[in-house]
Structure 1
Amino acid sequence: MASKAPIATVSLYLFAGEDDFAVKQHARQLFQKWCAEVGGFDHERIDAFALNSGEAFRAISSLREAMQTLPFFGGGKVIWWDNCSFLGDDRTGSSSGVTEALQELAQELKAFRWDGVRLIISAGKVDKRKAFYKTLDKLGSVELFEGWSAEDKGWHFQAERVAREKLQVLGKEVTEENCARLVADIGPNPRLLANEIEKLSIYLGARILVEAGDIEAVVTRNKSSRAFALADALGQRNLPRLLKVLDDELWAVKTDSSRSEIGLLYGLISKVRVMLLIKEMIQEGMIKPESPYPQFKVQLERIPPESLPSDKKFNPQAMHPFLLFNSLSQAANYTTGELVQAMETLLECNLRIVSSGQDDVIILQQTLINIVQTTVVSPKPSRR
């Protein structure tokens, strides 16, 4: 490559992170913008995805060739090194050969004369400790998109903001409650969220407002969201629906090795625990039972953290607010005594599944029937 020359303006961009949808979107937008500014037809997009060291070497070689090849009719050139998969700490990226090749490439980028050449790199997870990343950060501009994780407190607020923005661009509107419902169904997945919003927009047609029925009819619920279906049916105290959902879940257990009857049971135990928590929060005056979703969120946020458990499993502020809001109305379907008895019944079910040798399906069915149909009778006062 040619001798080093200073970069008058930013000619090198890195977009990276685990939110591959945002990474790809921003890289594509900049590529189109730069191509329009530069003009001509000599721009290149190079697929830099590599499953092994050999493919990584070929991707690096293709980038070198593209940077050394000047436009046929003169002018500028835009190169997009797309989907680079070996800038992180995975097996391919950590191999000595690829590490050395990236170090050499970093030195060449430092010495490269950028007149008329612009380079965009889009990648997944990157290792900020490596020399190649540090070189890109020093020479150009870096934007990282870390994505969302269910373990991150507040991911749903970010997702709801993105959902509202995307719907607004498409000329659609959504209430705060239905936006939360949409995000809860999809989970922390930006790409899936964007796809489902596109589907919703097409389904709505000329209608502007997104209703709860539209979400139920069109949106594909993610795996973790589907796992709440059985718990929701229990909360609604609807026995026919509960047994139907249980049948669907048990069928899924047979076809998915990552699922089990015990997993279903633990989900039910968590649901009863949340409804008991809701009952206690109402009793303590922390939340009001008839609150609409926006007010419920405000009430939840105002609870002093020191008055709540530190364990995330029992801390309402660490849970998705819409899932708690759902449980607010469902908790009214049971008395506190019934929920306490339901917890005891589920724990007994756990012991039977583990130790009795009976059919797990029959045990679960009997347990749910007992919970939904049982009414706790308050003891009569003793006569004097």
Structure 2
Amino acid sequence: MSLESKSPSEPVCLVFGDEDFLVRDRAKQIYESWCSIAEGMDHEVIDASVRNSEEALEILSKVNEALQTLPFFGGNKVVWLRGVNFFGDDRVGSSAAVKDRLVELAKSWEAFDWQGVQLLMSAAKVDKRKSFFKTLKKFAKVEDKSFSDKERGGRAAMLVRERLTELGKDISPHVADELILFSGSNLQQLYTESDKLASYIGERNEVTRQDVHEIATRTKQSKAFALGDALGERNLPKLLRVLDEELWEVKLDSKKSPIALLYGLISKVRTMIFLREMIRLKWISSSSGYPQFKSQLEAIEDDHLPDDRKFNPKLMHPYMLFNALGHARRYSEIELTRAMDILLNCNRQLVSSSAENGLVLQQALVQIVSK
């Protein structure tokens, strides 16, 4: 999927970022565009994923040799240094020999006659503090495909909508956000999920919530929301059923524990308390639809909120918050405060009591949900 259409006019380009999918896609697009314009046959792709500094130096020698070798059949030449893993601050990238050689190359490339040759580099991590990067920026096109946590949700939603549009399908913003809540914000995964949904709905034009619930891959994190959502719905039979399922998973997976389930419940109650307070402060409306809620959330000034993402609603997934807004209306502020006390006592019992963990959690949930 092409996320940009214009190829750089500079003869040297570095594409990097923490989202491998975007880096690979953009670099491939530039390479194919440059090759089609160059019309030569001597283009080179040099894989640059190395295990040690010796291999890194060998790769750098190869790319320098490739740049110095003129095309045998005439025309222009494109060299792609693909998947570089030593531009960052890891062990190989931090070795003195590699750092020195990169600086030497950057300086020589700055003075190099690029007539008839182009160099493309793609990498994951790049240390922007290093002399290599600072020198490169003076004469090369640099494209950073990294996203902050705050930007990632918007970028993910845009990718889902763009991909489904390419496939002739529509998806509303709130359904796209629900897909992200289920499947996570990894762009490669969302690209695959979009293709799955388009295939699943067949001749229909629009992807619905039901489609997402039926076919989307759920991350471990989204599965963990099920218990909290049942608590928020104040549906005791469903809550006890989900708790039973989660406790069975605990027996099968050593990475799970009753304490982890409890912390998930605490997080859910805390989120509902946040939302009740935000309603009281008139930052959000309890009757808003999803688009309005999302706009109200984005309009809250950052200095009104804590930096810690665990306590900052703006750094949480907007659809998860919107879903919790309906849950928060099912409890009064007094009930939510009492719920935190019950869960705190439950924590003490799980840590120090000999009582059966499942029974302790069950009793706590019954106390919270009962009116």
Superposition TM-score tier, normalisation by shorter sequence: 0.7 to 0.9
Partner Cα distance (2:358, 2:16) in 1: 46
2:178 corresponds in structure 1 to 181
Distance change in 2, residues 1:251/1:57 (3 Å): farther
1:5 corresponds in structure 2 to none
Distance change in 2, residues 1:277/1:68 (3 Å): closer
Q: Which amino acid aligns with 2:74?
A: G
Report the structure number with the largest CA radius of gyration.
Answer: 1
Tell me whether 215-224 or 285-294 shows the greater mean CA deviation. Answer: 285-294
Normalised to the residue count of structure 2, the TM-score between the two structures is 0.87
2:327 corresponds in structure 1 to 330
> Does the 8 Å contact 2:43/2:79 carry over to 1?
yes
Tell me whether 154-163 or 260-269 shows the greater mean CA deviation. Answer: 154-163
**In structure 1, which of residues 251, 254, 272 is the aligned counterpart of residue 269 of structure 2?**
272
Aligned-residue CA RMSD in angstroms? 2.6
2:359 corresponds in structure 1 to 362
SS at match of 2:163: helix
1:61-119 deviation digits (Å, cap 9, x = unpaired)? 33133223332312221111110000011111001122122223224423433221111
The runs of 5 or more residues in structure 1 that have no matched partner are 1-8, 376-384
Partner Cα distance (2:240, 2:93) in 1: 49
Q: Which amino acid aligns with 1:48?
A: A
Distance change in 2, residues 1:59/1:268 (3 Å): same
Partner Cα distance (2:266, 2:116) in 1: 63
Q: CA deviation at 1:334?
A: 3.4
> Does the 8 Å contact 2:110/2:136 carry over to 1?
no
1:49-72 deviation digits (Å, cap 9, x = unpaired)? 112223212322331332233323
Q: Which amino acid aligns with 2:230?
A: A
Distance change in 2, residues 1:119/1:310 (3 Å): closer
SS at match of 2:13: strand
1:382 corresponds in structure 2 to none
Q: CA deviation at 1:23?
A: 1.2
Tell me whether 133-142 or 357-366 shows the greater mean CA deviation. Answer: 357-366
SS at match of 1:13: strand
> Does the 8 Å contact 1:42/1:71 carry over to 2?
yes
Partner Cα distance (1:230, 1:200) in 2: 26
Q: CA deviation at 1:284?
A: 5.4
1:64 corresponds in structure 2 to 64
Distance change in 2, residues 1:331/1:23 (3 Å): same
Partner Cα distance (1:89, 1:67) in 2: 26
Tell me whether 209-218 or 253-262 shows the greater mean CA deviation. Answer: 253-262
1:235 corresponds in structure 2 to 232
Distance change in 2, residues 1:253/1:328 (3 Å): same
> Does the 8 Å contact 1:276/1:331 carry over to 2?
yes
Q: Which amino acid aligns with 1:296?
A: F
Partner Cα distance (1:64, 1:256) in 2: 51
2:22 corresponds in structure 1 to 22
1:120 corresponds in structure 2 to 120
Q: Which amino acid aligns with 2:292?
A: Q
Distance change in 2, residues 1:64/1:312 (3 Å): closer
> Does the 8 Å contact 1:187/1:222 carry over to 2?
yes
Partner Cα distance (2:229, 2:156) in 1: 22
Q: CA deviation at 1:256?
A: 5.4
> Does the 8 Å contact 2:247/2:258 carry over to 1?
yes
Distance change in 2, residues 1:40/1:253 (3 Å): farther
1:88 corresponds in structure 2 to 88
Partner Cα distance (2:26, 2:287) in 1: 43
Aligned pair count reads: 363
Partner Cα distance (1:311, 1:15) in 2: 31
> Does the 8 Å contact 1:148/1:188 carry over to 2?
no
2:6 corresponds in structure 1 to none
> Does the 8 Å contact 1:19/1:148 carry over to 2?
no
Partner Cα distance (2:204, 2:171) in 1: 11
Q: CA deviation at 1:248?
A: 4.2
Q: CA deviation at 1:308?
A: 6.0
* Matched ranges for 1:296-307 at <5 A: 296-302=293-299
1:249-292 deviation digits (Å, cap 9, x = unpaired)? 34554565654322221110121122233334445555443321
Distance change in 2, residues 1:311/1:51 (3 Å): closer
* Matched ranges for 1:45-60 at <5 A: 45-60=45-60
SS at match of 1:227: helix
Tell me whether 15-24 or 328-337 shows the greater mean CA deviation. Answer: 328-337
Q: Which amino acid aligns with 2:33?
A: K
* Matched ranges for 1:213-252 at <5 A: 213-252=210-249
Q: CA deviation at 1:124?
A: 1.0
1:379 corresponds in structure 2 to none
Paired-residue identity, %: 48
> Does the 8 Å contact 1:14/1:121 carry over to 2?
yes
Partner Cα distance (1:92, 1:228) in 2: 40
Q: Which amino acid aligns with 2:206?
A: L
**In structure 1, which of residues 336, 340, 344 is the aligned counterpart of residue 341 of structure 2?**
344
Distance change in 2, residues 1:252/1:112 (3 Å): farther
2:139 corresponds in structure 1 to 139
Partner Cα distance (1:173, 1:136) in 2: 42
Partner Cα distance (2:270, 2:11) in 1: 55
The runs of 5 or more residues in structure 2 that have no matched partner are 1-8
Partner Cα distance (2:251, 2:349) in 1: 20
Distance change in 2, residues 1:305/1:133 (3 Å): closer
Q: Which amino acid aligns with 1:278?
A: L
